Every structure is written in C-alpha cells, then in structure tokens.
Amino acid sequence: MEKIEELRHIVDGCIRNERRAQEQLFKLYYGKMLAVCKRYMSDHDSAQEVLQEGFIKVFDKIGIFDFKGSLEGWVRRVIANTAIDAIRKAKRNPFLPDNDFHFKQEAVDEMIDKEDWEHTELKAEAAVEAIQKLSPAYRTVFNLYVIENYSHKEIAELLGINEGTSKSNLAKAKMNLQKLLKKKYSSHF
C-alpha cells in the first residue's frame, strides 16, 4: 500500500472509531508529537498529559481532515493548540506582558533582527531542556514563532494579545535562553 493510501485507510478507521486504526495513528506520530509537547510544557509528565489529551482531540476531529495538507501537519497543529489550552488553564493569562520588564518597540525589533539563531549549534536535548525552563508565556510564543512558524499577528490572535507583546515575549525568551545556555555551556562560549 502506498503511503497516502495507508494514511487514508488509517484515517477512515479512526473516523469509524476502530481501536486498531487509532493505535496505528498514535504510534505513527507519538515521538514527533511528544517532542512538540515537551517544547511547550515544563516537564515530561505534563507533556505526556497534553499528548494524551491532544490525541483524544485528534480522534474526535479527524473527520474534518480533508487530505489537502499533510496529516502530520494537521495533527501537529491540534497537539500544539492543546498545549496552549493547557497553559491557559494552568494560569489565567500567562501571555500578558510583565510589569517588571519593559522594552521600546524599536529595541525589540532590532534585537529580533540581530539574532541569528539558525547558526547556533546546540544539541536538541539541551535546547529542549532550556526551552522548558522558560515561563509559559515566553515558551509558548517562542515555540509558535520559531518552531511552528506562526507570524506575530497569528500568535497575537491565537493568544489574545497584541503583536507587540508577542514580539516582546519572543525577545525575552531568546534572552533568557541565551542566559540559560551560556550558564550551562560557559566554557564553550
């Protein structure tokens, strides 16, 4: 069976609530989606909980998937949104700007433009560990912008914040990540 036919077969089975098809879909994307959850959540147990809840939503809504995009991308979006919902539940509104830290918008834009994160060579595990230490607001905006490729406008709409807050949270997340990683690897910098 070709890959697309196999995926269609699995999706059709999930639509019919067939346990075997659900298990196949879960196994197919478990590792990748756990990695997504770990980027949003501060610990492994929370990531596992979000993953389970996310797959329940995937199975619940799979009937709306139309194969116009990738199944993996669709599942990733459902899982990421589940993680964001979990963060919202845990803290009333972690995405509001801090009162103790203010930026001029021009300074934030300049900081973001000057950062060149693509050339930073970090082991994935160390990067995920550092990201997990960020506050929920910083971690969420960082993941949405850097990993999930959302625009600041999309992030603002999704989280109910303004674009400036999204940019500020991204800049602060990057600064905090730099501090965390420099501290951990001070002999390498």
Span 129-178, pLDDT tens digits:
888 888 888 999 998 998 888 899 999 988 889 999 999 999 999 998 88
Is 77 found in the same domain as 11?
yes
Q: How many domains does the chain have?
A: 2
Locate all alpha helices (DSSP H) within the chain, ordered by sequence. 3-15, 19-40, 44-61, 71-90, 105-114, 124-132, 136-142, 152-159, 163-184
pLDDT-derived band of residue 189, with 50, 70 and 90 as boundaries? very low
Query: What are the Cα distances from residue 159, in Å, to 9, 43, 128, 141, 165?
Result: 35, 22, 22, 9, 10
Question: Helix 19-40 and helix 3-15: axis angle, to 10°?
Answer: 100
Q: Is residue 95 part of a domain?
A: no
Is 140 found in the same domain as 77?
no
pTM over 0.75: no
Structural domain ending residue among the three candidates 90, 117, 142: 90
Beta strand ranges found along the chain (DSSP E): none
**Pair 167, 105: CB distance under 8 Å:** yes
Res 9 pLDDT > 60: yes
CA dist 148 and 121 (Å) reads 19
Q: Is residue 100 part of a domain?
A: no
Is 115 found in the same domain as 63?
no
Q: Is residue 96 part of a domain?
A: no
Is 133 found in the same domain as 179?
yes
- CATH number, residue 171: 1.10.10.10
Share of the chain above pLDDT 70, in %: 78
CA dist 52 and 50 (Å) reads 5
Is 86 found in the same domain as 9?
yes
Q: Is residue 99 part of a domain?
A: no
- What domain range is 137 assigned to? 105-188
Structural domain ending residue among the three candidates 33, 60, 90: 90
CA dist 57 and 29 (Å) reads 14
For tokens 């639509």, what's the residue?
15
- CATH number, residue 75: 1.10.1740.10
pLDDT-derived band of residue 4, with 50, 70 and 90 as boundaries? confident
For tokens 């949003």, what's the residue?
40
Q: Write out the two tokens for 35.
A: 């990695």
Structural domain ending residue among the three candidates 39, 64, 90: 90
Is 147 found in the same domain as 80?
no
